[in-house]
Structure 1
Amino acid sequence: MVEPANSFDDFLPDALQRRSPRPLVDIGANLTHASFSRDLESVLSRARAANVTSLILTGTDREHAEQAVALAERYPGLYATAGVHPHDASQWDVSLARAMRDLHRKPSVVAVGECGLDFNRNFSTPDEQERAFEAQLGLAVESGKPLFLHERDAGKRLREILRAWRDDISDAVVHCFTADRDTLHGYLDLDLHIGLTGWLCDERRGHHLRELVGDIPLTRLMVETDCPYLLPRNLPAKLKGRRHEPALLPWIVREIAHWRGMPEAELADATTATASAFFRLASPNHFPSPECEEH
């Protein structure tokens, strides 16, 4: 049985229930994560109550991409990406490439990725990462869909690879940007989009981003939670379990607007327009309540 219709208010304390003055698009929500398995419909209800009207569900491997597609096909307002994260690049083979190509043909899949380079942990070797990344760049050219990119400690090499492909690929967003000014301007020089998360709200490690947010044109800026990760540290109340979720996106937008020196509503309008054009979304104003079904 689904939870009672009003139970979605119970998880977030009153102090954290903030509604955006304008509709928002969360471009990076990992709702296939196991932590959402018990209360997904309540999570979606809380997102709608916060005026987060469209969610891009991140597909980081075949299993999670297929799960994201299934959710996007079930719930209006949800969309999916399909790709192989650099951590799993060692698994790339002909069969996986074929599966990704099939997923990219689905209307609910709005981007190729999450793909890219991560030289921080090197769970797959740099050579394996580059091989899988270039293969997915080829799939992006083939499908014509934009790229949803991951980069950590690999900005120089990512830019080198993208520069060689830039005339062939369409739009691309570096999601969860956390790097420095030179890296940011290198991406902007390639006409890439930038996704910002709650990292900006972390005074321990994200303070440098506060000086950079004004450098990002509004036509290139998008917002995301990257939930269940990166819970913002600017929240006025503690959250049981510390699981991040889309309903908290307005707190991130408020922080970005503060450091850009602009009204929150204006930033919300701009980032939603940018995301809607980038992912070719339907109107962001139509995210109905999840259907009440029995499972």
Structure 2
Amino acid sequence: MDLIDIGANLTHDSFDHDRDAVLQRAREAGVAQLVVTGASREHSPKALALAQAHPGFLFATAGVHPHHALEYTDECDAEMRGLLAHPEVVAVGECGLDYFRDFSPRPAQRRAFERQLQIAVDLADSGTPKPLFLHQREAHDDLVAMMKEFEGRIGPAVVHCFTGTRKELFECLDRDWHIGITGWLCDERRGQHLRELVPHIPAERLMIETDAPYLLPRTVKPQPSHRRNEPMYLAHIVEELARDRGESVEESARTTTATARGFFRLPLAP
């Protein structure tokens, strides 16, 4: 298989001792390219550095997750803009709203998200548009409302790690957003509703991601004792996706890869 993992937190310190081995295992498992998630002032530059160290294989995003919204200062905004000037950085984010944990006050989350939406507008206006890599948890209505304020001024968007309701899915699709599916789909306890929803996602809007080191697919047997997810397990997600969509694994792999490559404007894998 030729797979693309659109969201892996490879700068996480759990990978510090074996990151090169993790990447080699990913290649051997059919992962042709990965987008390394940048989600803070600390980790967005690290994501870029990883992408630059592995040209054509790794790419990066640059943004500030709502958990870190309080760090979004004028200096932070300038740093994100500088990172997004690099060709290896292929999306704005991870950015959005998270009302599930509220690690940052909601007004601060909204301010940080608005400023990153403005970056997307400015990139589009400058002729170098980059898509949005969105995070949303228990904040769907507010996220949609804020995105409406920028309608027609920003490029495409993907709702990373979608776990929402049927209503939320169709509202996202009605707005032409893409959908990222993770190992949540492989969880027989929490993922049942997603198994019923994924057949309704058009192939040209559907992408897959591990969100490593989080969300280890429960279909991995035996489960590793450390419980760390990594990109080599992306195949478990595409296999579950194919089963739920009633198509072959090869078809699911082909279409999700084509969609990801077009969305992020990735070159063919070396």
TM-score, normalising length: structure 2: 0.96
Asked whether the equivalents of residues 67 and 103 of structure 2 are also in contact (C-alpha less than 8 Å), the reply is yes
Alignment match, 1:57 = 36
Give 2:82's aligned amino acid. Answer: D
Say if 2:202 is the partner of 1:222: no
1:167-182 equivalences under 5 Å are 167-182=152-167
Query: Which structure: larger Rg?
Result: 1
Q: Which ranges in structure 1 are unaligned for 5 or more consecutive residues? A: 1-21, 287-295
**Structure ranking higher on relative contact order (CA contacts 8 Å, 6+ apart):** 1
| Matched residue, 2:268 | 283
Moved over 2 A (4+): none
> Could you say which residue in structure 1 is the equivalent of 2:95?
115
User: Is it true that 1:146 corresponds to 2:125 in the alignment?
Assistant: no
Instruction: Specify the SS of the correspondent of 2:92.
Output: strand
Choose which of 28, 37, 59 in structure 1 pairs with 2:16: 37
User: Equivalent residue of 1:165, what SS?
Assistant: coil
CA contact (8 A) 1:58 1:65 kept: yes
Distance 2:255 2:122 in 1: 29
What SS does the corresponding residue of 1:122 show, helix, strand or coil?
Answer: coil
Report deviation, 1:62: 1.4
Which string of whole-angstrom CA distances, capped at 9 and with x for unpartnered residues, describes residues 52-80 of structure 1? 01010000011101001001000131000
Asked whether the equivalents of residues 163 and 190 of structure 1 are also in contact (C-alpha less than 8 Å), the reply is no
Q: Give the letter aligned to residue 40 of structure 2.
A: D
Identity of aligned residues (%): 54
Say whether the 8 Å CA contact 1:225–1:246 is kept in structure 2.
Answer: yes
Amino acid in structure 1 at the alignment position of 2:30: N
Return the alpha-carbon distance in structure 1 between the equivalents of residues 213 and 60 of structure 2. 16
1:75 aligns with 2:60: no
Kept in 2: contact 1:56–1:81 (CA 8 A): yes
1:116 and 1:149 in contact (8 A); partners too: yes
Contact map agreement 2:8 2:37 (CA 8 A) in 1 = yes
Measure, in 2, the Cα distance between the counterparts of 1:177 and 1:166. 21
Q: Aligned partners of 2:181, 2:13: CA distance in 1, in Å?
A: 24
Q: Which residue of 2 aligns with 1:212?
A: 197
On the 8 A contact 1:148/1:174 being kept in 2, the answer is yes
CA drift at 1:167: 0.5
- Is 1:255 the counterpart of 2:240? The answer is yes
Q: Which residue of 2 aligns with 1:244?
A: 229
8 Å Cα contact 2:41/2:71 also seen in 1: no
Equivalent in the alignment of 1:100: 80
After superposition, the CA RMSD in angstroms is: 0.8
Please name the residue that 1:18 is paired with: none
Distance 1:23 1:257 in 2: 15
Is this contact kept in 1: 2:99–2:139, CA < 8 A? yes
Give the number of aligned pairs. 264
**Alpha-carbon displacement from aligned partner over 1:189-221 (angstroms, at most 9, x marks no partner):** 110000000001111111110000011100000
Report the equivalent of 1:137: 117
Whole-angstrom distance in 2 between the partners of 1:66 and 1:240:
31
Helix, strand or coil at the partner of 2:149: helix
Offset at residue 121 of structure 1 (A): 1.0
